[in-house]
């Protein structure tokens, strides 16, 4: 039986229509290509039932999207903060904390990496240009393609991520204006940009807990990026 992967689905709004819970097709297909069976979990599910819900799954996948409300990590509101969904914050933070507590494998992409950090008690930089003025540009969308290779990342040699990617220097896309500030409990830095912005975090004490700030689902023509999904699904199968 192939590993069952729970993907956190979020509310989408379209003019003239009611909200719909969804996840991007690229993410679903990346899990399928890695040999997993993806299932969408709507954020409307009650957070107090998360432990029961994810007990039926082998891995948990938290995807990209809008900003986490700064109240969740003791931050201050900023004009750049947008697309906040309190329902999504509550559900995904519960998913992350329960997945780690239950020893489930966990993959977080962009917002998902930030959710992982906050769930473990960490904090975020609410706006890179404002609070890290010496940092390079990290938000290249929507004026450029999501697949644009915007800057290099240096992967820590002793990290789990380096073993997955098969190297320590890679070019990545960049679609975020926030970043990890203080690390959450049990997490360590797995990759950084040249300006010092944290680009990946992981939890070496667990079978597979990884967050990356870039979007590998838009870079699947690059074999190392598909390996992230492959490693996640493989670890999910082993952790049953």
Asked if residues 221 and 173 have their Cβ atoms less than 8 Å apart, the reply is no
Beta bridge partners of residue 188, listed in sequence order: 202
Tens-digit pLDDT profile for residues 149-197 = 989 999 999 999 999 999 999 999 999 999 999 999 999 999 999 999 9
CA distance 183 to 88: 21
Quickly state the pLDDT bin for 37 (edges 50, 70, 90): very high
Summarised one tens digit per residue, pLDDT across range 69-121 is 999 999 989 999 988 999 999 999 999 999 999 999 999 999 999 999 999 99
Q: Which of 160, 176, 177, 215 is the catalytic position?
A: 215
Q: Can you tell me the distance from the alpha carbon of 200 to that of 222, in angstroms, rounded to the nearest whole number?
A: 18
Catalytic choice (92, 96, 110, 234): 110
Active-site annotation holds for 96: no
Q: Model-level pTM?
A: 0.95
> What's the rounded mean pLDDT across residues 209-234?
94
- Determine the 3-state secondary structure of 10 from DSSP: strand
Distance CA 122, CA 163 (A): 25
Kindly give, in sequence order, each residue whose CB lies less than 8 Å from that of residue 92, ignoring residues fewer than 6 positions away.
Answer: 8, 43, 62, 112, 115, 119
Q: How many C-beta atoms surround the C-beta of residue 176 within 10 A?
A: 22
Which two tokens mark 154? 């240096």
In the chain, where the domains are located:
4-238
User: Whose CA is closest to 115, among 134, 89, 133?
Assistant: 89
- Of the pLDDT bands very low, low, confident and very high (cuts 50, 70, 90), residue 12 is confident
Class of domain 4-238: alpha beta
Would the pLDDT of 46 be above 80?
yes
Angle subtended by helix axes 111-119 and 86-101, to nearest 10: 60
Confidence of residue 56 (pLDDT cuts 50, 70, 90): very high
Please provide the average confidence, as pLDDT, over all residues in the chain: 93
State yes or no: cis peptide before 2, omega within 30 of 0. Answer: no
Report d(CA 93, CA 100) in Å as an integer: 11
Q: Catalytic site residue 52?
A: no
């Amino acid at each position: 039986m192939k590993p069952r992967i729970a993907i956190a689905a979020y509310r989408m709004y379209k003019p003239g229509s009611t909200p719909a819970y969804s996840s991007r097709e690229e993410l679903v297909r990346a899990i399928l290509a890695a040999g997993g069976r993806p299932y969408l979990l709507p954020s409307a599910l009650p957070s107090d039932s998360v432990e029961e819900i994810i007990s039926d799954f082998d891995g948990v996948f938290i995807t990209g999207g809008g900003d986490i409300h700064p109240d969740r990590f003791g931050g201050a509101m900023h004009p750049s903060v947008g697309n906040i969904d309190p329902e999504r914050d509550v559900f995904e933070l519960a998913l992350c904390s329960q997945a780690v507590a239950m020893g489930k494998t966990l993959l977080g992409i962009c917002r998902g990496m930030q959710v992982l950090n906050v769930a473990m008690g960490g904090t975020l930089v609410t706006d890179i240009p404002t609070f890290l003025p010496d940092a390079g540009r990290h938000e290249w969308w929507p004026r450029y393609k999501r697949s644009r290779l915007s800057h290099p990342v240096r992967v820590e040699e002793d990290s789990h991520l380096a073993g997955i990617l098969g190297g320590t220097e890679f070019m990545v896309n960049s679609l975020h204006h926030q970043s990890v500030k203080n690390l959450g409990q049990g997490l360590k830095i797995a990759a950084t940009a040249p300006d010092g912005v944290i680009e990946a975090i992981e939890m070496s004490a667990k079978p597979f807990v990884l967050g990356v700030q870039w979007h590998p689902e838009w870079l699947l023509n690059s074999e190392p990026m598909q390996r992230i999904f492959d490693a996640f699904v493989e670890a999910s199968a082993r952790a049953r």
